[in-house]
Amino acid sequence: MFQSILSTLDRHCHISEDTEISMEGNPSSTTSVNVLQSLRDIGINRYSLGVQSFQERILRELGRDHTPSSALRSLLDARSVWPGRVSMDLIMGHAGQTLEDWEKELRFTMDVVDDHLSLYHLTVEPGTAQVDASQFFRRRHARVERTSNLIQGILPYFTVISLHKDVARGTVVLPDYDLTTDMYETMIKVTGEAGFEHYEVSNFARKQAYSKHNSGHWLGIDYL
């Protein structure tokens, strides 16, 4: 499918040799080096991995369906296929996250990351999709035997439950302004020590491994 898309684009637009063709993936879908190599062979020349966190608790709270170990394995596999051309995402500002937690996560990341990193602050807004997983699956699988066993098996992967409402009620408390400011300053310090340049609002690169898309977005350059 991807090869067909790229071939069609090349016929109508002409893809120059220096075009950045970036693909985003999650650790749960980055399951094989062979698959990644196939993507590289059809023209994908940059890969961005949605790690979000290397901490089990945070991944569950975010409703992610991967583990810290699978995230690390996927990252290292991608780096072996696109050396110097792999980015990864991290999110800070989770409920219960301390400055020490964040610094520990950053320092571990500096040991395993390639030459590009996107760091985002968790933002909770009205209207964010919220799912009560147990009720959802009881409705969808009302006629399936042992529904409760099914629910228990998949419930850990559907934990995005009323986050905005819980924050509004005060049942979930996110880090306050002072703490997130300290987290931001720690982020700048740790990435700088590792040789990363803060070249865009949420993006860091070393060895000039800038994302053309990220840079072009702010410069108003066309992209597809």
Per-residue pLDDT tens digits of the chain, which is 224 residues long? 677 777 777 777 777 788 889 999 999 887 789 999 999 998 899 999 999 999 999 998 888 889 999 999 999 999 999 999 999 999 999 888 999 999 999 999 999 999 999 999 987 766 544 444 344 334 444 444 443 343 333 333 334 445 667 777 877 788 899 999 999 999 999 999 999 999 998 999 999 999 986 666 556 666 65
- d(CA 82, CA 91) in angstroms, rounded, equals 23
3-class state of residue 116 by DSSP: strand
- d(CA 76, CA 83) in angstroms, rounded, equals 10
- d(CA 47, CA 39) in angstroms, rounded, equals 10
> Beta strands 46-52 and 86-92: pairing type?
parallel
Residues of the chain with CATH 3.80.30.20: 2-122+174-219
CATH architecture of 2-122+174-219: Alpha-Beta Horseshoe (3.80)
Which H or E element spans position 94? Answer: none
